[in-house]
Amino acid sequence: MPILMRLLIGIPLGAIVAILLFLVMRALIAMGDVSIDEKRDAVRVDIRPEVEEVTVMQRDMTPDKVKQVDPPPPPPEIRKQKSIQPTESLVNIGGEIPEFEQPDLSKSDISFNVSDRDAQPMVRIPPVYPPRAAEQGVQGNCIMNFDVSPDGVPINIRASSCTSSLFERTSIRAVEKWKYAPKIVDGAPVSRTGVVTQIDYQLAD
């Protein structure tokens, strides 16, 4: 809102308020003195001087007679037995240390090569039973073919045959989570091809 509009509205309102206050003050002055009735009875407050007697009940704090209790007998004394020190020296008891010939550890006699071995399963997580097969009561198996990498991971996973197509996808997903100890040849891990395994699907009774 512009300042000019505020002035045009504010000045008349202020004048009206001032005139109203002037009229109210004039009316109060015209009323004159107000008489006060001085014949009202004074309020008197009486306090009773009498004090009521209060009876205080005292408890009997005399202790009861304490029964005399005989103290328990002292514990029996245990005599410590002294060990007899050996009269012979440790050298005579143990005997002399036998002499051994120092073995000849030449590089040609030591071999750190790990023996060859085939790929071995370490972790085999069972597959999840397909819900559709469980609802229909379908049971069966899948023959799985895959290779094992030098890191022990199944690769080239495929289902060669399944009694029902409902088991193929869950079987592949299960084999992907398996872990193998890789095949070792001349002490080095190599790939293992042509691994065949069967996954069975049986409903619980």
Fold of the 120-201 domain: TolA/TonB C-terminal domain (3.30.2420)
Q: Domain residue spans in the chain?
A: 1-28, 120-201
Q: pLDDT tens digits for 117-127?
A: 999 999 998 99
Residue 181 · residue 120 · CB < 8 Å: yes
The amino acid at residue 86 is P
Q: How far apart are CA 40 and CA 57, in angstroms?
A: 49
Length of the chain, in residues = 205
Poorest-pLDDT segment among 9-18, 83-92, 122-131, 164-173: 83-92
Poorest-pLDDT segment among 43-52, 111-120, 127-136: 43-52
Q: How many CB atoms neighbour CB 119 within 10 A?
A: 22
Residue with tokens 């020296």: 89
Q: How far apart are CA 183 and CA 11, in angstroms?
A: 104
Provide mean pLDDT across the span 42-67.
Answer: 61
Residue with tokens 């007899």: 84
pLDDT at 114: 56
Poorest-pLDDT segment among 34-43, 158-167, 187-196: 34-43
